[in-house]
Chains A and B, each alone.
Chain A
Amino acid sequence: MTLVKTKIGRRAFIRNTGLAGGGLVLGFSWLASCKMTPEQVNSMPKEWFELNGFLKIGDNGLVTIMSPNPEIGQNVKTAMPMIVAEELDVAWKDVIVEQAPLNTDIFTRQLAGGSQSIRQGWEGLRMAGATARQMLKEAAAQAWQVPVGEIITSEGMLTHEASGKSAGYGEMASAAAGIEVPEEVELKEQKDFKIIGTDRKNVDGEKIVTGKPLFGLDVQREGMLIAMIVHPPAFGMKLKDMDAESVKSMPGIKDVFPIVVYPEDAEKQWSDGGAIAELAVVVGNSTWECMQAKKALQVQWEEDSKLESSAYHDETLTELVNTAPKEAARKDGDVDAAFKKAAKIVESTYSAPFLAHNTMEPMNFFAHVTSEKAELLGPVQTPEFLEMTLASVLGMPKEKIDIMMTRMGGGFGRRLYGTFAVEAAMISQKMGAPIKLVYTREDDMTQGTYRPSYKVKYKAGLDENGNLIAWHVRGAGTNDDLVFENRFPAGAVDNYLAEKHSLQTNVTTGAWRAPRSNFIAGAEQAFMDEVAEAAGKDPIEFRLELFDRAISNPVGDPEQNDYDPERYAGVLKLVKEKSNWTNGDNGKSRGVSAYYCHNSYVAQVLDLTMNGNTPNVDKVWCAVDCGIVINPLSAKNQIEGGIVDGIGHATYSALTFKDGVPEQSNFDTYRLIRNMEAPKEIETFFVDNGIDPTGLGEPSLPPIVGALSNAMYKATGRRHYNQPLINDKPPLVG
């Protein structure tokens, strides 16, 4: 056990004063949508005792653990309560998990993003469990008149061996709720973990496979109306006029109107990216009736800024990567001098298009706004920021705004930008009725906060011995400057120059699973392969040499380099061993890649065979260093998903624009990877090093694009520079 002060997240452990003296808490989540069986009702405790904001213990020993962060498919709703349960020392079968509502008094960082929920939640979650366990021990010590230090716990039982006394947590819960929150607590050693590090199934699994209402789109309320919006057809246009009257009489339609969602004086948050000030709205009884009225509605739009096309973005990004910015982002040594004396120079440019998020559940939100309060329920990754915006646009104090998160049918960054929830609230306020705003797939795909389009130009210099002596990266993106100047190979090359540009556009962009890394990792790792080949070296050995340099004699201030070269090399060595790296003499074409982002290290080896332009991926070996793995079963699911997602988007997906209009609006024209196109096999290996855990929602995606490109080169003898790779065909000859 490790003794730790309970200062972190301490306010969460101070009980609600209204409940002082017993801490009795009744009832379950008001979101509970599934009827319990009689057996379940009988097994429910008669009383619950809240020991802190994260957990309550029933008189029969059942424990309810709140999962604070939004669940978007990254499985924190299972993993976060596992951490609490571990330190509380209860059996996992006795745990009931509830999604916590937004509560800034109790929880910190209730946000799904950046693969940070586990990393940033780790200490607080452990404290929540450990303080409650300590309070139970104190209660037992007082009841039994024995020293607290002699009491041990195991799987929900308190035992005092010398006196032979024992009790379940349920028996001591009432007394424990009255114990002072301890100043320090003991945390378990990793070797004593019984839950963390073991396979635990998704806590919502049974509800998912039986079709229970879990998602925002499934919300039903008495008197609830459906609302749909019509947004500008092009980026750069705004609402001018609309003919509401002619569709108001359509069947099932309640009202049709323009609405200003964001007044000029609205205090916007970063989560309002992609906000459209004014929209056309259709409100009716049913989704289908609203869809018909939406189609019939005549809306006039007017241009308020330039209508941009993909050709313009592409040409401008090309100009930018060929133009030196005024200032370098990082400069070590002198690349120009090094290139002059280099024995070999390699130079390439890589590009990728805009991408839509395309969560399978389109954007939606339930809102019921009255003069008294605002009730919001739905899928959003950033409830805390949503509350601030709502307070501004509704003119209502935050105390009157309740936000509850549903399970989300995917996030990938899209639901960081909760403008749809703001729209729902404003429509409800105007209608004076509970409404559920529903986006069609077309609304969802054509009103996005897209992954920016990117271009990056690399130049590397090698000496006569094949040593990397100079590296120059210059990147550009739409609304995003792309380059992480302190990432590898910064610190491993004497002469290094990183430069970046951002092209401002009116196409709204935002975070998309592993922002920037989702493109730059693949480009960097494909270029690294080109350079290793020019150096006449094995691609893994070439990378390991660079990591050795960064370990033994780093260039510049080692603190500045945004990676740990030992952990980086560690995953590469692990994947080399596990894949029996032979660089392609097994009849398959093989590529390797490694990347560090979102605090986790990933290296991958990929085998494929080509069928025309289509890569058929036979196997991926994936080595991961994310420190302690909370739930290996779902951790592997995240790794597999990231790999499929990365291969899919790099190979097949693109969103293009013509005069501001997105040219793809549904899955008939926007291609997502399908079952037959996914790898045949993925094998994942975790580094076991006992380091505090980091996240997994994003890190396996970025590097796989490099491994794929490098294997495709082995198969075709041709480098693929432009995504989607399936369209990157050889130039016509003759």
Chain B
Amino acid sequence: MATFTLNINGKTQEVDADPSTPILWVLRDHLKLVGTKYGCGIAQCGACTIHLDGTATRSCALPVSSIGDKKITTIEGLSENGDHPVQKAWLEVDVPQCGYCQAGQIMTASALLEQNPNPTDEEIETAMNGNICRCGTYLRIRKAVKTASQS
């Protein structure tokens, strides 16, 4: 066990955890921030995507000891009132079916638009390719990213 000081959604938080604990489980089990989802545990499905200093990052394979003072943003901290342009676009297009993967999809999409505000269709597909949606909402995901990029 060790104590880590983390910057999460603009707040400083202290957690006691084994240094090998992936930040996903620190968020979910220690801090009760359950919006970030567990899907595979091996950085293959994207359900656990968070922003680390603004970059979309898989939290399930990232030990808490490697975070340092990097800023973490989770789906809960993406916007105060759920009104980030990507969240609004997701609602407008009515993307979700089961909804489980969508937090990760939204975190990937919002990081993409931060770096590339007007992505081409191909750039959207490439950026979103790491996030699996078992319900198959890929067409609506692309449309929502496009909608957000135009807002």
Find out whether the CB atom of A75 lies under 8 angstroms from the CB atom of B97: yes
Q: Interface readout for B87-101 with A: 1 if CB under 8 Å, 0 if not?
A: 100110010111111
Find out whether the CB atom of B103 lies under 8 angstroms from the CB atom of A289: no
Residue of B nearest to A74 (CB): B97
Find out whether the CB atom of B34 lies under 8 angstroms from the CB atom of A201: no
**Contact partners of A92 in chain B: CB under 8 A:** none
Residue of B nearest to A640 (CB): B139
Nearest-neighbour CB distance to chain B for A454, whole angstroms, equals 21
A168 interface residue, CB < 8 Å from B? no
Q: Describe A's contact surface by its main secondary structure.
A: loop
Expressed in whole angstroms, the Cα–Cα distance for A289 and B101 within the complex equals 24
**Contact partners of A679 in chain B: CB under 8 A:** 139
A206 interface residue, CB < 8 Å from B? yes
Nearest-neighbour CB distance to chain B for A399, whole angstroms, equals 32
Find out whether the CB atom of A217 lies under 8 angstroms from the CB atom of B132: no
Find out whether the CB atom of B138 lies under 8 angstroms from the CB atom of A644: yes
Contacting B at CB under 8 A, from A667-724, are 667-668, 672-676, 678-679, 681-682
Find out whether the CB atom of B134 lies under 8 angstroms from the CB atom of A286: no
**Contact partners of A637 in chain B: CB under 8 A:** 94, 97, 137, 140
**Contact partners of A412 in chain B: CB under 8 A:** 134
Expressed in whole angstroms, the Cα–Cα distance for A215 and B130 within the complex equals 22
**Contact partners of B54 in chain A: CB under 8 A:** none
Find out whether the CB atom of A640 lies under 8 angstroms from the CB atom of B140: yes
Expressed in whole angstroms, the Cα–Cα distance for A411 and B134 within the complex equals 10
Q: Interface readout for B64-85 with A: 1 if CB under 8 Å, 0 if not?
A: 0000000000111010001000
Known: A209-B106, A211-B35, A645-B136. A440 touches B41 (CB 8 A): yes
Known: A644-B136, A676-B129. A214 touches B99 (CB 8 A): yes
A642 interface residue, CB < 8 Å from B? yes
Known: A675-B128, A675-B142, A676-B129. A641 touches B42 (CB 8 A): no
Find out whether the CB atom of B25 lies under 8 angstroms from the CB atom of A287: yes
A99 interface residue, CB < 8 Å from B? no
Residue of A nearest to B41 (CB): A441
Nearest-neighbour CB distance to chain B for A326, whole angstroms, equals 41
Known: A205-B96, A674-B129. A211 touches B34 (CB 8 A): yes
Expressed in whole angstroms, the Cα–Cα distance for A165 and B39 within the complex equals 57
Q: Interface readout for A198-217 with B: 1 if CB under 8 Å, 0 if not?
A: 01011011101111111101
Find out whether the CB atom of B132 lies under 8 angstroms from the CB atom of A441: no
Expressed in whole angstroms, the Cα–Cα distance for A202 and B91 within the complex equals 8
**Contact partners of B140 in chain A: CB under 8 A:** 637, 640
Expressed in whole angstroms, the Cα–Cα distance for A217 and B76 within the complex equals 17
Find out whether the CB atom of A208 lies under 8 angstroms from the CB atom of B136: no
**Contact partners of B74 in chain A: CB under 8 A:** 211
**Contact partners of A411 in chain B: CB under 8 A:** 98
Nearest-neighbour CB distance to chain A for B143, whole angstroms, equals 10
Point out the residue from A220, A288, A634, A643 that lies within 8 Å of B22, measured CB to CB. Answer: A288
**Contact partners of B1 in chain A: CB under 8 A:** 251
Contacting A at CB under 8 A, from B43-68, are 44-45, 47
A358 interface residue, CB < 8 Å from B? yes
Find out whether the CB atom of B30 lies under 8 angstroms from the CB atom of A678: no
**Contact partners of A226 in chain B: CB under 8 A:** 29
**Contact partners of A362 in chain B: CB under 8 A:** 38-39
Q: What is the count of residue pairs linking A and B with beta-carbon distances less than 8 angstroms?
A: 185
Expressed in whole angstroms, the Cα–Cα distance for A286 and B134 within the complex equals 27
Expressed in whole angstroms, the Cα–Cα distance for A287 and B37 within the complex equals 13
Contacting A at CB under 8 A, from B1-55, are 1, 17-18, 20-22, 25, 28-30, 32-42, 44-45, 47
A626 interface residue, CB < 8 Å from B? no
Expressed in whole angstroms, the Cα–Cα distance for A287 and B21 within the complex equals 10
Find out whether the CB atom of B132 lies under 8 angstroms from the CB atom of A360: yes
A633 interface residue, CB < 8 Å from B? yes
Expressed in whole angstroms, the Cα–Cα distance for A205 and B140 within the complex equals 14
Expressed in whole angstroms, the Cα–Cα distance for A645 and B137 within the complex equals 9
Contacting B at CB under 8 A, from A287-307, are 287-289, 291-292
**Contact partners of B137 in chain A: CB under 8 A:** 637, 640-641, 644
B133 interface residue, CB < 8 Å from A? yes
**Contact partners of A180 in chain B: CB under 8 A:** none
A614 interface residue, CB < 8 Å from B? no
Nearest-neighbour CB distance to chain B for A689, whole angstroms, equals 25
Find out whether the CB atom of B139 lies under 8 angstroms from the CB atom of A360: no
**Contact partners of A213 in chain B: CB under 8 A:** 34-35
A648 interface residue, CB < 8 Å from B? yes
Find out whether the CB atom of B25 lies under 8 angstroms from the CB atom of A286: yes
Most A C-beta atoms less than 10 A away, residue of B1, B99, B101: B99
Known: A210-B35, A678-B136. A641 touches B18 (CB 8 A): no
Residue of A nearest to B100 (CB): A409
Expressed in whole angstroms, the Cα–Cα distance for A577 and B37 within the complex equals 43
A73 interface residue, CB < 8 Å from B? yes
Most B C-beta atoms less than 10 A away, residue of A73, A204, A212: A73
**Contact partners of A645 in chain B: CB under 8 A:** 134-136
Known: A667-B132, A676-B126. A211 touches B99 (CB 8 A): no
Expressed in whole angstroms, the Cα–Cα distance for A674 and B36 within the complex equals 20
Point out the residue from A289, A360, A638, A668 that lies within 8 Å of B100, measured CB to CB. Answer: A360
Find out whether the CB atom of B76 lies under 8 angstroms from the CB atom of A361: no
Nearest-neighbour CB distance to chain A for B12, whole angstroms, equals 20
Find out whether the CB atom of A218 lies under 8 angstroms from the CB atom of B34: yes
B131 interface residue, CB < 8 Å from A? yes
**Contact partners of B149 in chain A: CB under 8 A:** none
Find out whether the CB atom of B34 lies under 8 angstroms from the CB atom of A648: no
**Contact partners of A508 in chain B: CB under 8 A:** none
Nearest-neighbour CB distance to chain B for A77, whole angstroms, equals 11
Nearest-neighbour CB distance to chain B for A666, whole angstroms, equals 6
A407 interface residue, CB < 8 Å from B? yes
Nearest-neighbour CB distance to chain A for B134, whole angstroms, equals 5
Find out whether the CB atom of B34 lies under 8 angstroms from the CB atom of A641: no
A359 interface residue, CB < 8 Å from B? yes
**Contact partners of B111 in chain A: CB under 8 A:** none
Most A C-beta atoms less than 10 A away, residue of B94, B102, B103, B130: B94
**Contact partners of A358 in chain B: CB under 8 A:** 134
**Contact partners of B41 in chain A: CB under 8 A:** 291, 440-441, 666
Expressed in whole angstroms, the Cα–Cα distance for A218 and B137 within the complex equals 22
**Contact partners of B133 in chain A: CB under 8 A:** 360, 675
30 contacts between A and B (CB under 8 A): A72-B98, A73-B96, A73-B98, A73-B99, A206-B91, A209-B75, A209-B103, A210-B75, A210-B76, A211-B36, A218-B34, A286-B25, A288-B20, A288-B22, A288-B29, A359-B100, A360-B45, A360-B132, A361-B37, A362-B38, A441-B39, A633-B94, A634-B94, A641-B97, A645-B135, A667-B45, A668-B44, A672-B132, A675-B138, A678-B138
Q: Please give me the 5 A-B residue pairs with the lowest Cβ-Cβ distance, nearest first.
A: A211-B35, A409-B100, A644-B136, A73-B98, A211-B75
Known contacts A73-B96, A211-B76, A362-B38; 5 additional CB pairs below 8 A are A210-B87, A360-B100, A407-B99, A412-B134, A638-B97
